[in-house]
Structure 1
Amino acid sequence: MADFPVREVVNLPTLGKRKSRGDEDVRRRLGGPIHQERHVKVICVGAGASGLMFAYKIQRHFQNIHLVIYEKNKEISGTWAENRYPGCACDVPAHCYCWSFEPKLDWSAVYAGSGEIYNYFNNFAQKYRLDQYIQTNHQVTRAFWNEETAGWDVNVKDLSINTETNDHCDIFVNATGILNNWRWPAIPSLHDFKGTLLHTANWDENVDLTGKHVGLIGNGSSGIQVLPTVQPHASHVTTFIREPTYVSPVQGLEQHVYTDEEKKDFATKPDVLTDYRKRIETGLNGQFGIFLKNTSMNNDTHDYMVQQMKEKIREEHLIDKLIPEWSFGCRRMTPGVGYLESLTKPNVSVVYGEIERITPRGCICDDGKEYPIDILICATGFDTTFKPRFPLINPAGKNLQDEWASEPKSYLGIAAADYPNYMIFLGPNCPIGNGPVLSAIELQADYMCQLIDHYQTHNIKSFTPKKAAVEDFIAHKNDFMKGTVWADPCRSWYKSGQIDAPITALWPGSTLHYIEALGNVRFEDYEVEYNGNRFAWLGNGYSQTELDETADWAYYIRERDDGEWLSRRKRRQVLTKSGTVERREGVSFSGREESKL
């Protein structure tokens, strides 16, 4: 390396105490080249899909960063390690439930089981040696902002030996997700039941359902998957349903088991697999118009779904009870492979209404009857309130758990006002229910990396979304939601399990809309505090390029202008390969008209 003079920095002002980490950062910057990369410690909570993607991105793109991921479970993969109930699967086509750059060649079927998905994420972690960042059996119990160090003090419990330690980081990332804190139904006397009590997210694989009278509470995604799997083995199944929902595969995405020949083509002919993945993803991205009220796409899909449900249910008394009156899409679309057909099997009884209480023998419903059962399965989901799973204390001493108790308000689904150097995967109002969720996770990881890069190469003390920016985003979101089917009076986890409440789980737009919205960090929406003079990052006058003897020191001399496009439109056209796809007919986006992709 070439020798360049290092500027000596003396007489740096102090605050009357020992020099802080910020003072030391400024001193090093003034003595080094522009954009000098300081050491950064990052703590991430959770080693599910989001935590694994974050680890991959940090490993691929950064140096001089110390990353630690704390995972409360004994193993990684989050919800796919926890949910192993009979029939558990993803309700998104498997070839779209993998990273954009990391396809799986041998999915067994369109809707793959949880075991395959669990193996996919574990194999991903092993391939890229992500385990080096992860400490399993470690649960974060508390985090609070330390103003003196301008970072987060984090309490961590080692669940294997039941001891608690303290850690510290510059940047704190919450990747716990929303499908990890399962809950029992709020039914009186639930634990008075003397039979076997199960929850789909805490499944006991030693329980044998053969020949048993099984009760099933819930007709959400888990309940819809459980019934067809349990029904052939139980002597009888009584399924308790308190409200209707739309259940049927979306046209063109019905369940299909891939043949050996298909899987061979996927493995040996890359274009075949890529084209297939793109077709499915394009179809999913073309469905956004379904969620907008009074569009032909929504009306046509509603009519199709009702027709499909009637054909599969066939019994008029069930049709009247199970098909909703509210708009299709108000609750998450659920491909119910075999579910509706199971409802009419001879050994299945449907009890519609509320369960008033649980007895030692079974369930008493609002029809006054008691329904005796041997095993009670609660497919009642998770706490989807978006509150952190641990106290998170900001510089003002406020706890985000309390502030988000009634209505969580995030910045673009990725950060919170008044909580510096804190970032969230799959936070409130990002596309976790209206698009391919792994695309959103990748995007959020990229966005976080942009912030971390800026923080690492500048003398920044803290970055925090402005409260005004958050309030403006929430106001825009609320106004947009009025024109969507999600605002209909259905009970949905999009609205924290309520019928009439703010929509907190969805982005005000499509997945592609979110990708463009988060393509670049809007630093004008952030409060940024600096250590010392904000231009200390300019350093000693030398560039990073001059420190690299292998670099072209005249790289800007060219024969033609091949630089990056400076307008957003041009960059988007290159990125999306505009002009390479045949023009689609009948596509209109005037006002809130839908696409007919």
Structure 2
Amino acid sequence: MTGIPLAPDRPAGKSGDKFKLGDFAIDEYRPIKVVAIGAGFSGIIAGIRFPQRIQNIDFTNYEKNAGVGGTWYLNKYPGVACDIPSHCYQLTFEENTDWSAFYSPGSEILAYLERVVDKYKLMRYIKLQHELIHARYDEPSAKWHLRLRRPAINSDSTAGIHFEEFEDTADILFTGLGSLSQWTWPDIAGLNEFKGTVLHTAQWDESVQDWGTKKVGVIGVGSSAIQIVPALQPKVAHLFNYVRGKTWIASPFAIAKLAALTHDSKSDNYSFTDADKKAFKDREYYKAFRHDLEAHIHTAYPVVLRGSALQQWAQKAFKQSMINKLEKKPWISDHLVPDFSVGCRRATPGPGYLDSLTRDNVDFISTPIKRITATGIETIDGHHQELDAIVCATGFDTTFQLPFPFIGRAGVSLQDAYKPHPITYLSVCVPGFPNWFQALGPNSAVSSGSLMVILERQIEYAIKATLKLQRERLKSIEVKKEAAQDYDEYIEHYFPTTVYSEKCRSWYKMGKEEGRVTGLWPGSCLHALRVLEHPRWEDFDYEPLNEIKNRFHWLGDGQTYNDKTKTGDRAWYLRDSEVDIPPSKL
């Protein structure tokens, strides 16, 4: 045997002229600095997994708010709750058997996140009230340069809070900013002229009390409005819900499971009893309950496929359900029940919303608003309603345009790169922005299934890339433009097969009635998990450290760290955790 001949452009002896073995063991991992932005679900998962998976890591999490929890810290309006089953809205590895209800209040979700932070001692990494205001990738060093703002250490409390700015850098930048984090005021003339109380659901003032004498106008029919209306209805003198569009009020996620718990097909929520919670303490029982519930919510995916049998059933069933609940004021159905398919706009279970609309102290107003005056709201038909308070349940900026400069390679801003719509690679990274990964970026969310497991997989993806960068001693890792363009082409061909391409105003389409779907993953939740499971490293470009071009420089000096130091386990491959024993019958 003569072996494999060398390539003609690399004769023997030539490649080694300038090459030198590394002075490190192959598993003597170089230090790597990771900065995470945001301490909501994504940042909390990152705070657990990055230090767990990566050795020799310097990890910091900057959070702009005064507490952890992200959207669950900010949103404290009456009635705020989870709109998917609570037992599906938790981490795969951190179960909670004490949820109070099938759809639990936001305060319980925040408390859950705070417990997770305490259990895993994440405050050693988290810096609260540290807001990212500028991010720039530096090409020579392949580091992210970050400018942050925080309260000044020596701030004089009597003169108000003063802020100071400082700089930091990162080898890897991970952002968990959330797709619903920048709340917006409605574009209605005269909003600033109103002399009464004006509130936004995402900036709730808990000091506002004495609702019993107030006439309150709630603007909106999204998830926030659907939750706050039934919460305020029993507390106010009169409530006026101003609704511009139509929406499905139903639970496509787990309606059968809810009915099984309540023994009532018309129930829209269920409070777990002490007996339920006691039963959940049985590890095997709870494991089966949770698995069955989560498996069930994944069966809802076909409802989004145009013309599917499940879509046809859903439209008929949900329409009848809404009509039945609005029986006392049947005319509301004409203005609220959609003519678009279930799922085009996010459907919500909306416990109590339809019932509250039929109460004597609630008016449903579908006439468009003309303007807001000093004392109330005037609609285009000339009617003026005197109000004491206006609640704007008008949602968030869903264009993925960050409120601060985010600059990648060659000085290109992410804001420009995301026009006319965001183009990403599997939602986790963007060409031209090396060493940056994100969770809940464009095309991340799912209309059915577990969002938590999506977040976990996105973070594991970022970790795998970070490990590759560290292990192979790379300077940068950047997705190829061609790969992102191919993914974009896939997205363009997928969504026309779904109901999302129908005409309906939705945050899925950046708040527009028609156009590019940027909010949702192009496929089922389970599809996303499979896609993110194994990175396609061939879709990335790499730069070596120290201008060393030989791709095997990372092999080091031919030793492992245990060889080099004559310490540690030198038969680690025989540990129980390492040995994979096949079944006796394959």
Unaligned runs of 5+ in 2: 1-15, 153-161, 259-267
Instruction: Give the Cα–Cα distance (whole angstroms) in 2 for the partners of residues 190 and 540 of structure 1.
Output: 69
When residues 63 and 316 of structure 1 are mapped into structure 2, their CA distance, relative to the original with a 3 A threshold, is same
Give, in angstroms, the shift of residue 349 of structure 1: 0.5
Are residues 1:551 and 2:552 paired? Answer: no
User: Which residue of 2 is the match for residue 202 of structure 1?
Assistant: 203
User: Which residue of 2 is the match for residue 528 of structure 1?
Assistant: 542
Report if aligned partners of 2:191, 2:372 keep a CA contact under 8 Å in 1: yes
Code of the aligned partner of 2:314: T
Give, in angstroms, the shift of residue 543 of structure 1: 3.1
- How many residue pairs match? The answer is 541
The SS at the match of 2:216 is: strand
Instruction: Give the Cα–Cα distance (whole angstroms) in 2 for the partners of residues 107 and 196 of structure 1.
Output: 34
When residues 556 and 98 of structure 1 are mapped into structure 2, their CA distance, relative to the original with a 3 A threshold, is closer
Alignment partner of 1:214 out of 207, 213, 216: 216
Are residues 1:61 and 2:75 paired? Answer: no
Instruction: Give the Cα–Cα distance (whole angstroms) in 2 for the partners of residues 184 and 421 of structure 1.
Output: 34
Give, in angstroms, the shift of residue 283 of structure 1: 1.1
Instruction: Give the Cα–Cα distance (whole angstroms) in 2 for the partners of residues 453 and 418 of structure 1.
Output: 20
Which runs of structure 2 are paired with 1:64-103 in the superposition (5 Å)? 64-103=56-95
Instruction: Give the Cα–Cα distance (whole angstroms) in 1 for the partners of residues 118 and 190 of structure 2.
Output: 45
User: Which residue of 1 is the match for residue 12 of structure 2?
Assistant: none
Code of the aligned partner of 1:481: F
User: Which residue of 2 is the match for residue 589 of structure 1?
Assistant: none
- Larger mean CA deviation between 223-232 and 170-179 belongs to 170-179
> Cα deviation per residue 1:398-436 (whole Å; 9 max; x = unaligned)?
110222143111110101111000111111112344432
User: Which residue of 2 is the match for residue 242 of structure 1?
Assistant: 244
Are residues 1:183 and 2:184 paired? Answer: yes
Report if aligned partners of 2:36, 2:175 keep a CA contact under 8 Å in 1: yes
Give, in angstroms, the shift of residue 229 of structure 1: 0.8
Give, in angstroms, the shift of residue 279 of structure 1: 1.5
User: Which residue of 2 is the match for residue 227 of structure 1?
Assistant: 229
User: Which residue of 2 is the match for residue 170 of structure 1?
Assistant: 171
Alignment partner of 2:487 out of 439, 463, 473: 473
Give, in angstroms, the shift of residue 34 of structure 1: 1.8
The SS at the match of 1:356 is: strand
When residues 395 and 12 of structure 1 are mapped into structure 2, their CA distance, relative to the original with a 3 A threshold, is farther
Give, in angstroms, the shift of residue 395 of structure 1: 2.0
When residues 262 and 554 of structure 1 are mapped into structure 2, their CA distance, relative to the original with a 3 A threshold, is closer
Give, in angstroms, the shift of residue 108 of structure 1: 0.5
Code of the aligned partner of 1:85: Y
Instruction: Give the Cα–Cα distance (whole angstroms) in 2 for the partners of residues 237 and 185 of structure 1.
Output: 19
Instruction: Give the Cα–Cα distance (whole angstroms) in 2 for the partners of residues 420 and 203 of structure 1.
Output: 38
Give, in angstroms, the shift of residue 39 of structure 1: 0.3
Give, in angstroms, the shift of residue 233 of structure 1: 1.0
Instruction: Give the Cα–Cα distance (whole angstroms) in 2 for the partners of residues 217 and 554 of structure 1.
Output: 62
Identity of aligned residues (%): 36
The SS at the match of 1:290 is: helix
Which runs of structure 2 are paired with 1:102-501 in the superposition (5 Å)? 102-160=94-152, 161-208=162-209, 209-250=211-252, 251-252=255-256, 253=258, 254-267=268-281, 269-314=282-327, 315-501=329-515
CA RMSD of aligned residues (A): 2.2
The SS at the match of 2:212 is: coil
Unaligned runs of 5+ in 1: 1-10, 14-25, 566-573, 580-597
- Tell me the TM-score normalised to structure 2 length: 0.89
Moved over 4 A (4+): 547-550, 552-558, 561-565
Instruction: Give the Cα–Cα distance (whole angstroms) in 1 for the partners of residues 570 and 325 of structure 2.
Output: 67
Alignment partner of 2:521 out of 504, 507, 515: 507
Which runs of structure 2 are paired with 1:19-34 in the superposition (5 Å)? 30-34=22-26
The SS at the match of 1:109 is: coil
User: Which residue of 1 is the match for residue 6 of structure 2?
Assistant: none
- Larger mean CA deviation between 343-352 and 546-555 belongs to 546-555
Give, in angstroms, the shift of residue 396 of structure 1: 0.8
Give, in angstroms, the shift of residue 326 of structure 1: 0.5
Report if aligned partners of 1:425, 1:441 keep a CA contact under 8 Å in 2: yes
Report if aligned partners of 1:313, 1:344 keep a CA contact under 8 Å in 2: yes
When residues 147 and 249 of structure 1 are mapped into structure 2, their CA distance, relative to the original with a 3 A threshold, is closer
- Larger mean CA deviation between 44-53 and 393-402 belongs to 393-402
- Larger mean CA deviation between 255-264 and 527-536 belongs to 527-536
User: Which residue of 2 is the match for residue 18 of structure 1?
Assistant: none
Instruction: Give the Cα–Cα distance (whole angstroms) in 2 for the partners of residues 505 and 51 of structure 1.
Output: 20
Give, in angstroms, the shift of residue 555 of structure 1: 4.5
Report if aligned partners of 1:362, 1:371 keep a CA contact under 8 Å in 2: yes
Instruction: Give the Cα–Cα distance (whole angstroms) in 2 for the partners of residues 232 and 300 of structure 1.
Output: 34
> Cα deviation per residue 1:463-486 (whole Å; 9 max; x = unaligned)?
111111111101111101001011
- Tell me the TM-score normalised to structure 1 length: 0.87
Instruction: Give the Cα–Cα distance (whole angstroms) in 2 for the partners of residues 564 and 88 of structure 1.
Output: 48
Report if aligned partners of 1:33, 1:538 keep a CA contact under 8 Å in 2: yes
When residues 551 and 376 of structure 1 are mapped into structure 2, their CA distance, relative to the original with a 3 A threshold, is same
Give, in angstroms, the shift of residue 556 of structure 1: 8.1
